[in-house]
């Protein structure tokens, strides 16, 4: 080896360390550019939503000025938001949870049973939350401590739990007519200034979860575990516990979502939650959370949920027949994925 090949080891960075201290600066000192760079995924999702809405509105401007259209979306959207947001955590952690529809059904069933038995709906909500927590823990433990693939194990749990509900109820629904007069209904499912009150709870949940994701130890550890589990373990993080926690969080979110869906309809169906599986999963990925784990965006996921729930309403309102809904669902998903692919680089 010749000496000429050796690096200049004495002044490696071409400067002395004394002056180094003052050299911190962001790629751009302008706050707006920094904001855009930090939030590019969710801003991309927002752009998709705005373009989609613009197309719908141009197609039929008058329908989109009626409040009823938005009111109906704002009633059902919150149910989706309560599961989309925890799923962002799950996907960031490098897992997937397909069992949340059954958890929604199971927890809301417990809620319905408690209310039907004549107890206060608040007690029913508490019971549903406990059920959701336990089911989340069960599913999480199965995946993490049982060492199973989360894709298959949660799919299995979804069938298993839904099957249990069906076996016991034999397809019969439960009507909860006394719910309308309760205080719980007034707080969680009435209207405020003509706006469905659920949306305020959902927004509060999204804001809380976004803080949890970005400003809390839980969110920090979820991201690290999804990014590099070996490294996380080496640095003393209980990787398995963090993984179980994201499933518990999903269980809790599903319990809230299920309860809200029952309160909207005053009826619990044995199929409660079933229709949410694919739209909710689509919302997470349309929202800009990549499939490979480590990163994600809660706010993006929420905007993704808004986008997905406006597709159906928008297609019909724009004057197209219902047959176009699936086509547009697919189109938006594919376009969003292409957009995110271009928008964010994957670091290895």
Partner 1 sequence: MSERIIELRDIKKSYGQVYALGGVNLSVDRGEVVGLIGDNGAGKSTLIKILSGVVKPTSGDILVRGKPVTGWSAARSRDAGIETVFQDRALAVQQTIVRNIFMGRELTGFMGWLKVNKEIEEASRLMREIGFTSKVFTPHSIVGQLSGGERQGVAIARAIYKQAELIILDEPTTALSLTETAKVFHFVRQVRASGRSILFIGHNIHHVFDIADRFVVLDRGKVALTADRSEVKSAEDLINFMEDVAHPGGLPGLHEDAEQRA
Report d(CA 209, CA 86) in Å as an integer.
8
Work out whether 215 is an interface residue with partner 1 (CB under 8 A): yes
Report d(CA 301, CA 283) in Å as an integer.
6
3-state secondary structure of 188: helix
Tell me the number of residues near partner 1 by CB under 8 A. Answer: 41
Work out whether 29 is an interface residue with partner 1 (CB under 8 A): no
Work out whether 343 is an interface residue with partner 1 (CB under 8 A): no
Q: Which of 93, 84, 308, 310 is nearest to 210 (CA)?
A: 84
Report d(CA 15, CA 25) in Å as an integer.
17
CA distances from 49 to 1, 35, 154, 334, 339 (A): 60, 19, 30, 14, 12
Q: Which residue's CB is nearer to partner 1, number 169 or number 344?
A: 344
Of 80-88, 147-155, 210-218, 274-282, which segment contacts partner 1 by CB under 8 A? 210-218
Of 100-108, 133-141, 178-186, 340-348, which segment contacts partner 1 by CB under 8 A? 340-348
Work out whether 26 is an interface residue with partner 1 (CB under 8 A): yes
197, two tokens:
């009150």
Of 21-29, 59-67, 162-170, 250-258, which segment contacts partner 1 by CB under 8 A? 21-29
Place of tokens 């994957």: 346
Min dist CB 85 to partner 1, Å, is 18
Q: Which residue's CB is nearer to partner 1, number 26 or number 183?
A: 26
What's the per-residue H, E or C state across 151-203?
HHHHHHHHHHHHHHHHHHHCCCCEECHHHHHCHHHHHHCCEECCEECHHHHHH
Work out whether 1 is an interface residue with partner 1 (CB under 8 A): yes
Work out whether 36 is an interface residue with partner 1 (CB under 8 A): no
**Contact pattern from residue 254 through residue 273 relative to partner 1, giving x for each residue in contact according to CB under 8 A and a dash for the rest:** --------------------
Burial of 346 per CB tally in 10 Å (0-12, 13-18, 19+): exposed
Give residues 63-82 in contact with partner 1 (rule: CB under 8 A). Answer: none
Work out whether 4 is an interface residue with partner 1 (CB under 8 A): no
Work out whether 23 is an interface residue with partner 1 (CB under 8 A): yes
Q: What are phi and psi of 29, to 5 degrees?
A: -80, -10
Work out whether 217 is an interface residue with partner 1 (CB under 8 A): yes
Work out whether 21 is an interface residue with partner 1 (CB under 8 A): yes
Min dist CB 154 to partner 1, Å, is 24
Of 97-105, 190-198, 225-233, 244-252, which segment contacts partner 1 by CB under 8 A? 225-233
Q: Which residue's CB is nearer to partner 1, number 110 or number 244?
A: 244
Report d(CA 264, CA 191) in Å as an integer.
11
Burial of 10 per CB tally in 10 Å (0-12, 13-18, 19+): exposed
Of 18-26, 133-141, 266-274, 311-319, which segment contacts partner 1 by CB under 8 A? 18-26
What does the DSSP 8-state code read for residue 345?
A: P
Report d(CA 230, CA 209) in Å as an integer.
26
DSSP state string for 24-60: ---SSS-HHHHHHHHTHHHHHHHHHHHHHHHHHHHH-
Q: Which residue's CB is nearer to partner 1, number 26 or number 30?
A: 26
Work out whether 200 is an interface residue with partner 1 (CB under 8 A): no
Binding site for partner 1 (CB under 8 A): 1, 5-9, 12-13, 17, 20-21, 23-27, 38, 211, 215-218, 220-221, 223-224, 227-228, 230-232, 234-237, 294-295, 345-348
């Amino acid at each position: 080896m010749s000496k000429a090949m050796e690096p200049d080891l004495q002044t490696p960075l071409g400067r002395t360390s004394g002056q180094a201290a003052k050299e911190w600066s962001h790629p751009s000192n302008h706050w707006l550019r920094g904001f855009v760079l930090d939030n590019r995924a969710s801003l991309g999702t927002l752009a998709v939503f705005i373009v989609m809405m613009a197309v719908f509105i141009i197609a039929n401007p008058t329908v989109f000025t009626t409040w009823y259209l938005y009111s109906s979306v704002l009633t059902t959207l919150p149910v989706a938001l309560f599961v989309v947001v925890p799923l962002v955590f799950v996907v960031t952690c490098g897992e997937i949870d397909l069992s949340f529809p059954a958890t929604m059904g199971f927890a809301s069933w417990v809620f319905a049973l408690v209310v039907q038995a004549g107890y206060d709906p608040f007690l029913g909500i508490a019971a549903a939350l406990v059920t959701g927590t336990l089911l989340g823990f069960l599913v999480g433990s199965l995946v993490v401590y049982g060492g199973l693939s989360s894709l298959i194990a949660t799919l299995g749990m979804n069938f298993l739990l839904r099957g249990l509900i069906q076996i016991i109820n034999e397809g019969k629904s439960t009507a909860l007519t006394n719910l309308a007069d309760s205080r719980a209904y007034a707080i969680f499912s009435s209207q405020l200034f003509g706006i469905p009150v659920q949306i305020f709870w959902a927004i509060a949940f999204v804001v809380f979860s976004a803080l949890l994701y970005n400003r809390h130890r839980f969110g920090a550890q979820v991201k690290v575990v999804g990014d590099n589990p070996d490294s996380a373990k080496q640095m003393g993080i209980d990787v398995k516990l963090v993984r179980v926690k994201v499933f518990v969080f999903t269980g809790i979110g599903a319990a809230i979502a299920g309860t809200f869906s029952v309160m909207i309809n005053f009826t619990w169906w044995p199929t409660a939650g079933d229709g949410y599986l694919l739209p909710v999963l689509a919302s997470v990925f349309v929202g800009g959370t990549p499939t490979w784990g480590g990163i994600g965006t809660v706010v993006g996921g929420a905007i993704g949920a808004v986008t997905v729930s406006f597709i159906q309403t928008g297609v019909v309102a724009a004057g197209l027949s219902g047959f176009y809904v699936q086509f547009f669902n697919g189109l938006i998903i594919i376009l969003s994925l292409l957009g995110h692919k271009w928008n964010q680089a994957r670091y290895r």
